[in-house]
């Protein structure tokens, strides 16, 4: 070491350390002040301006478009890789006002990009697409290239006016015609010495003898009849006209009494000719039919009014059908109905609507519809099960068209009585009424307009809103979203009340893909009418995810818990094994909550979240991949809410949201080995009800725990997926 260095080292070794630090800090601050001059600031501004002019890349999540970051990475919500969304370009001048082309996936997995290539999600080739919604004052719409239209399978049809037919399907049973039931009763007290018809089911004709009755009162009445008959003779009256007149009136009164007792004129004449009283009387059938009830036995004593037989005329029957309240608009009195009986498959019978019940069954949400049926051959029998269908041609405003009944007159009690003019009913004598007063109209007169209709696949319906995508005239490939007001659904069509004109073309296939693109670009869409914010992945559990776990704020149960096991998704059999740890962690969470164990439930929910993150989504493709991503986001959030819950009530509320997604997911993707059972508790969350999965056959309620451990019923069993793609779910 040279002498100068040794001298410097000696000086520093004698200097206190604190003084050295202060001197170094002062020198650094002075140096920073020297180099941070005005020219440096100007240079910094210039660099920032240059970056703005060059533009910066924006990275977003394909599942959460609201995530927009300046650099690539992972989505903070679901952990997926971010994709390039857009570029912040410098303001366009007049020379650069032309919109730059964009490229999008035909499945709309990601937002449109500024350069072509392959979709980072599904690997499909990106196609050119133009969004014309960015221009101020212009309608929000989407323009697709011919190739994009073909890949998205876009189909359109013209809106038009035409009569459409509603098909109303109903089920029910055959019953007796109540107006054609007869009762054989005892009109005088006595003893039934003989029953000529001694079992039910016997056919009888009008006038057939039924009962041989012994009655002392009948003998007394016969004696009066014979005495009155004797007094009407001239020798008995002594030739007095007044006495003859009174005797004749007395005789006629006694004869009328016998008629009211059920004796025929022939029986009365027989008594008069015999001249002696008898204690016996034969009762004859007042009508023909089938004896359907025998109420007494031979040798029984009866009083006046005691019912002996019930006879039904089966040549006319009633068919009692159950019609859903949504179908009542298409049913009319006097309408023809076709039906098939289980006993005669393939054979069609017809009848006429004679009565529509004025009240609704609150349990089944159906209304009883009575149909009158002719049964002259006796093939139809009471209590047979039938399936019926009624067809209604519908005019504008939902009115039913029937050209055959237009201008006719019909009986309001017997719809089979139809005449060309005003008259009285042949059966009941009531005045006939015009069929128009019963809800029928005719297109023949030309005064009824056909309804404006669109195919049922055209509108996207959510809540009270209905959205269609209309092809913009003279702009091929451009589709504009429009809200419309729909009327009732009639078969495969909807009646349009407002929002469309005849001749416009609406999208009937591919409209969901167009709407997905609008949602990704934060444009007005089915779920986001105002635009600006993308639609949430799931509407269920939204309040739950915002931190509210109160039972009175639980969302309504999802309506897709039943029937989703039939979805034909392309799912490899090995994915059920991949899904196994997720299901196992969920079942641990359910078991902990059902036994009122909060901390074990939190721990199990954390394991659920970890297992869900380890699932290899690359095993899934197409719709199966997209469905998994949508459900996994909600499940991750719900599991986090459970693991971070402050108390067990909040954990149970979050578990309800998790269970909804798990039920759907388990149905779609199946279980590896042991089947699981879906249970339902109708009393959970203020009687809104809640579902969950468990492996045990007996109920273990996670929403009430020990308070109501066995509250709930098993709804279905979910087993391993079959080769066809559906879960084998033996019940």
Count CB atoms within 10 A of the CB of residue 372.
19
User: What are residue 58's DSSP bridge partners?
Assistant: 86
Same domain (yes/no): 69, 198: no
Query: Strand locations in 152-221, DSSP E?
Result: 155-158, 160-161, 164-176, 181-185, 190-195, 203-204, 209-214
Q: 496, 484 in Cβ contact below 8 A?
A: yes
Q: 356, 193 in Cβ contact below 8 A?
A: no
The residue from 252, 284, 312 where one domain ends is 312
Query: Strand locations in 44-154, DSSP E?
Result: 57-60, 68-69, 83-87, 102-104, 127-131, 141-144
**Digit-coded pLDDT (tens) for 559-580:** 455 444 444 567 777 788 888 8
Q: Which of 114-118, 166-170, 352-356, 596-600 has the highest mean pLDDT?
A: 596-600
Same domain (yes/no): 84, 182: no
Domain span at 560: 542-718
Q: How far is CA 121 from CA 212, 300, 357, in A?
A: 92, 88, 56
Same domain (yes/no): 89, 187: no
| Domain contains 419 | no
Can you tell me the distance from the alpha carbon of 133 to that of 510, in angstroms, rounded to the nearest whole number?
19
Residue with tokens 């002075």: 30
Q: 339, 348 in Cβ contact below 8 A?
A: yes
**Digit-coded pLDDT (tens) for 361-420:** 999 999 999 999 999 898 999 999 999 999 887 765 556 656 566 667 878 777 777 777
| Domain contains 211 | yes
Higher pLDDT, 468 or 727: 468
Higher pLDDT, 231 or 14: 231
Higher pLDDT, 699 or 568: 699
Q: In sequence order, which residues have a C-beta less than 8 Å from that of residue 539 and are 6 or more positions away?
A: 527, 555
> What does DSSP assign to residue 393?
E
pLDDT of residue 546: 36
Same domain (yes/no): 546, 680: yes
Can you tell me the distance from the alpha carbon of 253 to that of 19, in angstroms, rounded to the nearest whole number?
145
Q: C-alpha angle 193/198/199, rounded to 5°? A: 160
Q: 600, 705 in Cβ contact below 8 A?
A: no
**Is the confidence at residue 131, as pLDDT, over 70?**
no
Query: Strand locations in 366-477, DSSP E?
Result: 366-374, 385-394, 400-401, 409-410, 418-419, 433-434, 440-441, 452-455, 460-462, 465-471
Q: What percent of the chain has pLDDT over 90?
A: 24
Torsion, Cα 296 302 306 310, to 10 degrees, reads 30
Query: In a 3-state reduction of DSSP, which class is residue 709?
Result: coil
Same domain (yes/no): 88, 184: no
Can you tell me the distance from the alpha carbon of 693 to that of 675, in angstroms, rounded to the nearest whole number?
10
| Domain contains 689 | yes
Q: Tell me the two tokens of residue 379.
A: 């093939």
Q: In sequence order, which residues have a C-beta less than 8 Å from that of residue 110 and are 6 or more positions away?
A: 62, 83, 85, 104, 119, 120, 121, 520
Which of these ranges, 148-162, 164-178, 230-244, has the smallest mean pLDDT? 230-244
| Domain contains 25 | no
Q: Pairing relation of β-strands 440-441 and 400-401?
A: parallel
Same domain (yes/no): 597, 712: yes
Higher pLDDT, 39 or 343: 343
Model confidence at 235, pLDDT cuts 50, 70, 90, reads low
Closest CA to 319 of 280, 350, 346: 350
Residue with tokens 């080769």: 723
pLDDT of residue 692: 94
Q: Tell me the two tokens of residue 189.
A: 């007290």
Same domain (yes/no): 84, 191: no
Same domain (yes/no): 89, 212: no
Count CB atoms within 10 A of the CB of residue 727.
24
Can you tell me the distance from the alpha carbon of 264 to that of 188, in angstroms, rounded to the nearest whole number?
15
Which of these ranges, 284-293, 526-535, 667-676, has the smallest mean pLDDT? 526-535
| Domain contains 132 | no
| One-letter-per-residue 3-state SS of 502-560 | CCCEEEEECHHHHHHHHHHCCCCCCCCCCCCCCCCCCCCCHHHHCCCCCHHHCCCCCCC
The residue from 96, 122, 155 where one domain ends is 96
Rg of the chain's alpha carbons, rounded to an integer? 43
Same domain (yes/no): 191, 298: yes
Can you tell me the distance from the alpha carbon of 135 to that of 518, in angstroms, rounded to the nearest whole number?
15
Same domain (yes/no): 59, 199: no
Q: How many structural domains compose the chain?
A: 3
Same domain (yes/no): 86, 211: no
| Domain contains 452 | no
Closest CA to 667 of 621, 624, 698: 624
pTM, two decimals, is 0.48
| Domain contains 134 | no
The residue from 96, 125, 155 where one domain ends is 96
pLDDT of residue 395: 66
Q: Tell me the two tokens of residue 633.
A: 């986001």
Same domain (yes/no): 82, 182: no
**Is the confidence at residue 593, as pLDDT, over 90?**
yes
| Domain contains 27 | no
When the pLDDT of each residue in the chain is averaged and rounded to a whole number, the result is 76
pLDDT of residue 98: 47
Mean pLDDT of 138-152: 76
pLDDT of residue 253: 86
The CATH number of the domain where 236 resides is what? 2.40.50.100
Q: In sequence order, which residues have a C-beta less than 8 Å from that of residue 126 and are 6 or more positions away?
A: 103, 104, 105, 113, 116, 117, 118, 119
Which of these ranges, 197-206, 469-478, 501-510, 716-725, has the smallest mean pLDDT? 716-725
Model confidence at 533, pLDDT cuts 50, 70, 90, reads very low
Q: 391, 166 in Cβ contact below 8 A?
A: yes
Q: In sequence order, which residues have a C-beta less than 8 Å from that of residue 217 and are 6 or more positions away?
A: 188, 189, 190
């Amino acid at each position: 070491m040279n002498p100068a260095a040794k001298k410097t080292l000696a000086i520093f070794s004698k200097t206190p350390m604190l003084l050295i630090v202060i001197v170094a800090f002062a020198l650094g601050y002075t140096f920073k002040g020297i180099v941070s001059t005005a020219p440096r600031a100007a240079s910094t501004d210039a660099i920032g301006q240059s970056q703005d002019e060059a533009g910066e890349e924006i990275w977003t999540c394909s599942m959460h478009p609201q995530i927009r970051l300046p650099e690539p990475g992972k989505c903070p919500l679901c952990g997926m890789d971010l994709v390039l969304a857009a570029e912040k370009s410098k303001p366009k001048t007049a020379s650069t006002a032309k919109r730059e082309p964009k490229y999008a996936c035909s499945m709309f997995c990601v937002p449109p990009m500024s350069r072509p290539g392959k979709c980072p999600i599904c690997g499909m080739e990106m196609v050119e697409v133009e969004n014309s919604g960015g221009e101020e004052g212009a309608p929000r719409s989407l323009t697709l290239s011919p190739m994009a239209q073909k890949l998205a399978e876009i189909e359109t049809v013209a809106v038009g006016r035409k009569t459409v037919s509603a098909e109303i399907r109903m089920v029910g049973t055959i019953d007796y015609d109540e107006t054609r039931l007869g009762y054989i009763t005892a009109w005088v007290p006595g003893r039934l010495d003989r029953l000529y018809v001694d079992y039910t089911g016997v056919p009888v004709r009008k006038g057939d003898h039924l009962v041989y009755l012994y009655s002392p009162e009948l003998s007394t009445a016969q004696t009066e009849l014979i005495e009155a008959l004797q007094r009407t003779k001239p020798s008995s009256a002594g030739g007095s006209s007044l006495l003859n007149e009174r005797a004749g009136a007395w005789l006629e009164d006694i004869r009328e009494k016998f008629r009211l007792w059920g004796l025929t004129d022939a029986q009365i004449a027989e008594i008069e000719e015999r001249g002696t009283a008898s204690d016996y009387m034969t009762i004859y059938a007042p009508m023909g039919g089938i004896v359907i009830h025998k109420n007494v036995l031979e040798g029984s004593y009866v009083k006046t009014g005691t019912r002996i037989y019930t006879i039904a005329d089966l040549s006319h029957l009633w068919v009692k059908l159950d019609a859903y309240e949504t179908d009542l608009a298409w049913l009319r009195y006097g309408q023809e109905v076709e039906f098939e009986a289980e006993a005669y498959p393939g054979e069609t019978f017809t009848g006429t609507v004679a009565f529509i019940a004025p009240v609704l069954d609150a349990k089944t949400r159906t209304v009883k519809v009575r149909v009158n049926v002719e049964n002259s051959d006796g093939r139809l029998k009471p209590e047979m099960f039938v399936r019926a269908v009624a067809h209604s041609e519908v005019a504008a405003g939902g009115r039913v068209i029937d050209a055959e009944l237009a201008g006719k007159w019909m009986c309001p009690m017997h719809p089979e009585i139809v005449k060309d003019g005003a008259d009285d009913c042949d059966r009941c004598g009531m005045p006939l009424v015009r069929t128009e007063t019963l809800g029928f109209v005719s297109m023949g007169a030309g005064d009824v307009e056909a309804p404006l209709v669109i195919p049922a696949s055209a509108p996207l319906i959510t809540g009270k809103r209905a959205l269609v995508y209309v092809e913009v005239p003279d702009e091929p490939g451009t589709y504009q979203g429009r809200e419309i007001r729909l009327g009732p659904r009639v078969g495969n069509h909807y009646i349009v009340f407002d929002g469309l004109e005849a001749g416009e073309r609406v999208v009937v296939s591919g409209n969901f893909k167009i709407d997905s693109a609008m949602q990704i670009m934060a444009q007005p869409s089915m779920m986001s009418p105002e635009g600006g914010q993308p639609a949430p992945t799931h509407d269920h559990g939204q309040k739950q995810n915002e931190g509210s776990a109160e039972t009175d704020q639980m969302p309504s149960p999802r309506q897709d818990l039943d029937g989703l096991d039939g979805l034909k998704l392309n799912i490899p059999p090995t994915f059920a094994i991949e899904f196994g740890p997720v299901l196992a962690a969920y079942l641990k969470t359910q078991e902990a909550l059902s036994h009122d164990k909060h901390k074990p439930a939190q721990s199990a929910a954390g394991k659920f979240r970890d297992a869900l993150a380890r699932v290899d989504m690359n095993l899934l493709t197409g719709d199966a991949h997209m469905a998994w991503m949508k459900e996994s986001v909600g499940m991750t959030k719900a599991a986090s809410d459970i693991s971070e819950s402050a108390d067990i009530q909040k954990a149970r509320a979050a578990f309800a949201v998790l269970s909804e997604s798990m039920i759907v997911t388990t149905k779609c993707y199946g279980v590896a080995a042991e089947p699981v059972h879906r249970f339902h508790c109708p009393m959970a969350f203020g009687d809104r009800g809640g579902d969950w999965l468990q492996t045990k056959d007996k109920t273990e309620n996670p929403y009430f725990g020990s308070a109501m451990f066995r509250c709930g019923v098993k709804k279905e069993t979910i087993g391993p997926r079959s080769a066809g793609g559906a879960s084998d779910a033996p019940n």
